[in-house]
């Protein structure tokens, strides 16, 4: 199946797919623009048939594909304005909220070399920066478009991170942590 996806990408021809979506099988014809990997999953960035080339493309998780067939006789014109690197560079994670205004995120991590190394191993955005504090803590700063995935990522670090800003993220993390404690019956 991956060969069919690669062929359609390389030759700029449409791809006919069948995919599982919410317990149902759906069919679509896609015009592939690129592939990205996120959290050990491959995603096909594509326009669906009938979508205008200037519209925001969709991300299709390849593991949801049941079948894929390269339509060798159905070419499409790759959008001149589309650059895959630019498409993924201002997002944090796989979800993109194009309508959201970029917000500056500042996080402070504990003085633990293993934690700091794990944080440095990931690329967050194009403009991320790190600062080592005199007491061994580390500050990570980056701009994100929307806080949905940032919130869940921050929560995954538990007590090893403190949200310095923005306030909206600090409140979102605190509220989610409060709900987790409530749901799990821990006082």
Mean pLDDT across the chain, nearest whole number?
A: 90
Among 71, 74, 26, 36, residue whose Cα is nearest residue 57? 36
How far apart CA 137 and CA 3 sit, in angstroms, is: 46
Q: Where do the structural domains in the chain lie, given as residue ranges?
A: 2-82, 102-183
| pLDDT, tens digit, 9 for 90 and up, residues 65-117 | 999 999 999 999 888 888 888 777 766 777 766 677 888 999 999 999 999 99
Mean pLDDT is lowest, of 7-16, 21-30, 92-101, 147-156, for 92-101
Residue 45's DSSP bridge partners are: 34, 59
In the chain, what is the greatest distance between 2 CA atoms, to the nearest angstrom? 63
Q: What pLDDT band is residue 17 in, cutting at 50, 70 and 90? A: very high
**Using an 8 Å Cβ cutoff, are 71 and 8 in contact?**
yes
**Using an 8 Å Cβ cutoff, are 156 and 109 in contact?**
no
Given this model, what pLDDT does residue 90 score?
64
**Using an 8 Å Cβ cutoff, are 61 and 43 in contact?**
yes
Mean pLDDT score, 38-47 = 89
Given this model, what pLDDT does residue 105 score?
95
| pLDDT, tens digit, 9 for 90 and up, residues 112-141 | 999 999 999 876 777 889 999 999 999 999
Whether 102-183 and 2-82 are alike in CATH topology: the answer is: no
How far apart CA 96 and CA 90 sit, in angstroms, is: 8
Q: Name the CATH architecture for the domain at 102-183.
A: 2-Layer Sandwich (3.30)
Q: What pLDDT band is residue 187 in, cutting at 50, 70 and 90? A: low
**Using an 8 Å Cβ cutoff, are 13 and 72 in contact?**
yes
Residue 164 has pLDDT above 90, yes or no: yes
**Using an 8 Å Cβ cutoff, are 139 and 157 in contact?**
no
How far apart CA 154 and CA 161 sit, in angstroms, is: 7
Given this model, what pLDDT does residue 149 score?
85
Which class is 2-82 in CATH?
mainly beta
């Amino acid at each position: 199946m991956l060969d069919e996806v690669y062929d359609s990408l390389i030759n700029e021809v449409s791809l006919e797919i069948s995919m599982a979506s919410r317990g149902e099988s759906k069919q679509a014809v896609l015009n592939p623009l690129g592939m990205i990997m996120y959290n050990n999953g491959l995603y096909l960035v594509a326009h669906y048939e009938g979508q205008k080339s200037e519209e925001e493309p969709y991300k299709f998780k390849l593991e949801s594909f049941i079948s894929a067939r390269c339509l060798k006789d159905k070419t499409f014109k790759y959008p001149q304005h589309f650059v895959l690197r630019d498409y993924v560079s201002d997002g944090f994670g796989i979800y993109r909220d194009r309508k959201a205004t970029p917000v500056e995120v500042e996080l402070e991590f504990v003085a633990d070399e293993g934690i700091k190394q794990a944080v440095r191993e990931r690329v967050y955005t194009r403009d991320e920066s790190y600062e080592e504090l005199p007491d061994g803590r580390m500050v990570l700063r980056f701009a994100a478009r929307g806080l949905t995935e940032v919130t869940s990522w921050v929560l995954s670090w538990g007590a090893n991170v403190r949200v310095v800003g923005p306030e909206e993220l600090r409140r979102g993390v605190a509220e989610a942590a409060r709900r987790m404690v409530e749901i799990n019956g821990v006082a």
